[in-house]
Chain A
């Protein structure tokens, strides 16, 4: 009972503190929300890329797009003479076109697709070697293979990780400063109460608890906003990215469907940690008991 009463008082004090925070509440929450959105976006994107990379990076396949006027059968025979080639599958342009029309609503144009060979190799080491040889074929317009795409995606991911975490770090530091100022103001306005509570033996947690909860609620508020933004991005951007990826490399792109929930949990945890941690640090600095 006693603890419940104390807890309710702590909650009341937290509300009072939030009221005293005034406009700086919104400053804290917006900066933190921006930081968390960027952090969550980077996290989600890099996780998706990782998933794509790990799935494509191990695929032993090269797609070769043939120039018009060459006989796919003949080219396939030549290609299968190469070392390490295990299987050559021919996808005539009519078949590819039919498939595309089944899957997507495309305008009834003339078939723009080339004849394609799917070349299966014996091992990963052979992929790039064979790719070089294929490039020399006059009958082949260009080639694509998942390993290369994976490599490039990985570079994008590394850049994103560094840039994203630098930006998140800078914004978190800014958040800490703003939280520190806000909590300091609340402490100053409660100076006398804090002194009385401390000198009469009220537990330090009763004194600091409301401040820490205030910080945590900033974190929660910011995480909710960031979560909503991420949710919308996830819902509207993903189909678009799928399309881009598919047009780039006609392959199974569902490997990039990484669930949003883990990211949201990380964002919430980080937000609460930054908020509560920032105010705990400030209260520790200004409240000596």
Chain B
């Protein structure tokens, strides 16, 4: 589903990613780990085309997205769900409206909006909070709204850059387990994180980045603190 081939990314001649090769299959669930500055966010930004690679090829769902025109970028992004560390909710809109926001902007009719938003909110177990405003929710609940918004359009790929960075350990685990359940419904999920206990608890695929290079990629792995130091 996601394929990176010989990816190099430089910022002003300084290398952020060096010769990254990676394949993540359909419906797979993977962690992207590594110390600060390793290049996790950079890799994520290449996937949702906030940035283009300096060299190499990025393919998503068989489509080469390395050289997309400006008009094609929105089409790519409609097939991705993105979860943010800081949730990025609209404070003046209810939970329902936050999740509905993008569907409405895409011109989906209101009956369809209602059906899809309710189903996304059911997946994240927030059916009874639809009319509340973000500030009345806990951090974990806010992130669940963020996840509902990311999956409401039924994207085949879900990208989450440090989705638990602002949450306590227990809530973080719940959020990651939720993302795992979503992946089991057929969505490819890639999560970047620093969070060793969670990675260790999940026993999933772990891709380790250090200084812009993949230094290990293991299934049912743990967070290799020593190697990454």
Contact = CB atoms under 8 A, between A and B. Distances in A.
B70 A202 contact: no
B110 to A, nearest CB: 8
A133 interface: no
A2 B77 contact: no
B105 A202 contact: yes
Interface string B142-179: 00000001000100000000000000000000000000
A192 B90 contact: yes
Contacts of A195: 88
B109 interface: yes
B90 A196 contact: yes
A197 B73 CA distance: 12
A9 to B, nearest CB: 6
B106 A202 contact: yes
Interface residues of A, number: 20
B105 A199 contact: no
Given A200-B78, A200-B153, A201-B75, A5 B70 contact: no
Given A3-B107, A202-B74, A202-B106, A193 B90 contact: yes
A289 interface: yes
B90 A197 contact: no
A200 B107 contact: no
A5 B107 contact: yes
A202 B106 CA distance: 6
A2 B110 CA distance: 11
Interface in B98-130: 101-102, 104-109
Contacts of B73: 201, 289
A6 interface: yes
A9 B110 CA distance: 12
Contacts of A196: 88, 90, 101-102, 149
Interface of A: 1-3, 5-6, 9, 192-193, 195-204, 206, 289
3 interchain residue pairs of minimum CB distance: A201-B77, A201-B78, A2-B107
